[in-house]
Each structure stands twice: as structure tokens, then as C-alpha cells.
Amino acid sequence: MHALRLLADRDLRLTELPDPPPPAPGEAQIAVRAIALNHIDVWGWRGMAFARRSLPLTVGAEAVAEVVALGEGVAGLRPGQRVVPYGGMTCGTCRACREGRDNLCENVAGVRGFHADGFAQGLMNMPARLLVPVPEGVALEDAACAAITFGTVQHMLFDNARLEPGETVLVHAAGSGIGSAAVRMAKAIGCTVIGTVGDEMKAAKARALGVDHVVNYNTDRFESVARRVTGKRGVDVVFEHVGAATWQGSLLSLRMGGRLVTCGSTSGVSAETNLMMLFQRQLRITGSFGCSLRNIGESLAKMSQGIRPVLDTVLPLERFAEGLARLESRNVFGKIVVTL
């Protein structure tokens, strides 16, 4: 089988590897069909220092696949079925896993495609418990964006920020993979969306996507817009993943008792927080990372109802590195998906 392996920083090679053995009890063998790219892939590719990994490493952290064979004792799946594999190598037995809070597993062994071999290979064996069936009618390229992109946003907006219909939400980097997903999910329940973008081309695309108030953060202050469009009250929810560059403005954008949820810090990991504002205005700040298996199912259900990811580009596996370079350059609106 083919596998796309990272040999050294920025050195990806299509390699021939032996097929995996038949699936063990409790496992399914899957044939990977498509992979969505995320910033975690860019970090791994350009070699930011992370302790727990060794090269060569098969890349690919978010995927959709088809069941090829089932090991003993696997129920509820059949060969030919399309599934979304969970990328976290969770234990399945700790309290968090048993209670369905998979992304809080106490014994997680890493993330596939980052700490351990990922999905950019023809065949692989997975614990069947980590496979989520794809509903009929959902396109492969869309389903490829369920495990990280849609799952993360579903977890952030609904489990963590408890976004309600009709609320106002500020979405940073509305043209990014998760930003565009957040816009679509928030608009789908009738929220008012303020979205930030970095240039006029993305501003036009954000408007077309349904963002009610588009802010070019290079020419306008988003916190002023947030206060203006809410009659000085402030927004109910801020969807953060930019970090240092936007942190203080994000907190200033919130209404009394507003909620900020963050899953990233692409502009820097440290920022000052005005604690007096935090407690007097009774703000709630929640960190969010990944999602649960349930969130993947919810994401796929949304896709089957027509809430689809925004696709920027679909590329063949050989052009994976080109996709990473495009993502790194930020000259992208929505998701880059690679097909096998």
C-alpha cells in the first residue's frame, strides 16, 4: 500500500509499505478515502518541537474511510460502510472515555498523524469503537472534515459556549477551516455573526457565506464593531483561535456574562488578561481541544442536513505538501481536502 510519510522537516515522501495484517478482535480494517488538512499538520510538517514522536511518520490527522474487513466481536459495522475515524488514541476505559468525554481521556497515547502514524495510507487497522458511521448522502470530501474541523466547532459552540439561537457571536478568522464551519453552524440556528478576515477578497467570501458584519482586522477594530452592532451591549459569544493578537479585543467585545471559547493561539500563546474585567463583568473563558465521538456524529448529522464545510481545494495525495504550503500561507478560504 501507499503511505505518505514525513522523513524530516518539510520532507514528505510517497512510500510503499506492507499491507497491515487482518484486523484483530475489536478492530476494523479501513481503506482511507480522503484527508482534510489542519494547522496541526502544518506544525508537524514544518517541525515545531514536540517531544513525543519519531520519524518517519505517516501524516494525516482527519479522514474519512471505508470499512474493508472486521475483526472478531465487532458489531454495528459492515464492509463497504463509510466511517470517520477518531484521531485521538484514547484508552476507552478511563472515566472520561466511559462518560463520552473522549477528548479528556486520562491515558491518551497521542494524536494520529502527529504523535503516531496517521491516515495518509491505503489501509490501516483501527479499534472499531473509534469509527463513526457516515450517513447516506454525505459527500466523502465533506465527511473528511468531521473529525477535527466540524467536531471541534460543534464542541466549542454547543458543549462549551452553549450558543443559543438568536445570539450574537464573534467568529475570528471567518475564512479559516474552523472559522467558516463556525459561521455556518451559527447561521444555521439563526445567530447574528460578526466575522473577522484579513483581506478584502476574504471579506467578500465571508459576506457570501452569510457573515452579517464582516471586519477586516487590518483596517478596522473588531471590538468597536462588536460594540456598535450590539448597541454597546457586547456579543454573547466569542469564538477564539487567534490568541495573543486578538485576546484583549475579544474580551472587550463580550457582554456582561459573555462567553469566550478558544481552541488555538496561532498569533502567540501568551496574552494579558484584565482580571478586574474578568470578574466584574462575570466573563466565562473556556479552553477547548478536539471533540468527543458524539460530536463527530453530530457533525455528520449536520452535514446530512445541508450544513456543509466550505471547501477551498481538493487535491490528490501526491499534492499533500502543496496543500500544507497553501494552508501555511493562509491564502485559503475554507478546507483543503486530499483524496486517496
Q: Does 105 bind Zn ion (CB under 5 A)?
A: yes
Q: Which is nearer to Zn ion, 83 or 105 (CB)?
A: 105
Strands 11-16 and 2-8: antiparallel
* Residue of 134, 119, 112, 131 whose CA lies nearest to 74: 131
CB 144 within 8 A of CB 62: yes
Q: Which is nearer to Zn ion, 94 or 140 (CB)?
A: 94
User: Cell match 501524516: residue?
Assistant: 59
* Residue of 290, 287, 266 whose CA lies nearest to 152: 290
Q: Does 209 bind Zn ion (CB under 5 A)?
A: no
| Interaction residues for Zn ion, span 233-262 (CB under 5 A) | none
Q: Does 90 bind Zn ion (CB under 5 A)?
A: yes
Q: Does 103 bind Zn ion (CB under 5 A)?
A: no
* Minimum distance from residue 151 beta carbon to Zn ion (Å): 17
* Residue of 159, 50, 177 whose CA lies nearest to 115: 50
Q: How far apart are CA 313 and CA 337, in angstroms?
A: 6
Measured CA angle at 54 (ends 332, 103), to 5 deg: 60
Q: Which is nearer to Zn ion, 67 or 131 (CB)?
A: 131
Of 33-41, 104-112, 113-121, 135-143, the segment contacting Zn ion by CB under 5 A is 104-112
CB 327 within 8 A of CB 61: no
* Minimum distance from residue 106 beta carbon to Zn ion (Å): 6
Q: Which is nearer to Zn ion, 91 or 139 (CB)?
A: 91
* Minimum distance from residue 109 beta carbon to Zn ion (Å): 10
CB 145 within 8 A of CB 177: yes
Q: Does 104 bind Zn ion (CB under 5 A)?
A: no
* Minimum distance from residue 126 beta carbon to Zn ion (Å): 16
Q: Which is nearer to Zn ion, 253 or 295 (CB)?
A: 295
Count of beta carbons in the 10 Å neighbourhood of residue 98: 11
Q: Does 97 bind Zn ion (CB under 5 A)?
A: yes
**Binding test (CB under 5 A) with Zn ion, winner from 77, 91, 189, 277:** 91
* Minimum distance from residue 178 beta carbon to Zn ion (Å): 24
Of 84-92, 212-220, 287-295, 313-321, the segment contacting Zn ion by CB under 5 A is 84-92
* Alpha helices (H) along the chain: 39-46, 95-98, 140-143, 151-154, 177-188, 200-209, 222-229, 247-253, 275-280, 293-304, 320-329
User: Cell match 481541544: residue?
Assistant: 289
Q: Which is nearer to Zn ion, 89 or 283 (CB)?
A: 89
CB 39 within 8 A of CB 325: no
* Minimum distance from residue 108 beta carbon to Zn ion (Å): 7
3-state class of 61 per DSSP? coil
* Residue of 254, 330, 307, 312 whose CA lies nearest to 285: 254
* Minimum distance from residue 88 beta carbon to Zn ion (Å): 9
Q: Which is nearer to Zn ion, 90 or 168 (CB)?
A: 90
**Binding test (CB under 5 A) with Zn ion, winner from 1, 69, 94, 321:** 94
* Minimum distance from residue 91 beta carbon to Zn ion (Å): 4
Q: Which is nearer to Zn ion, 129 or 207 (CB)?
A: 129
* Minimum distance from residue 104 beta carbon to Zn ion (Å): 8
# residues near Zn ion by CB under 5 A: 5
Q: Which spans of this chain sit near Zn ion (rule: CB under 5 A)?
A: 90-91, 94, 97, 105
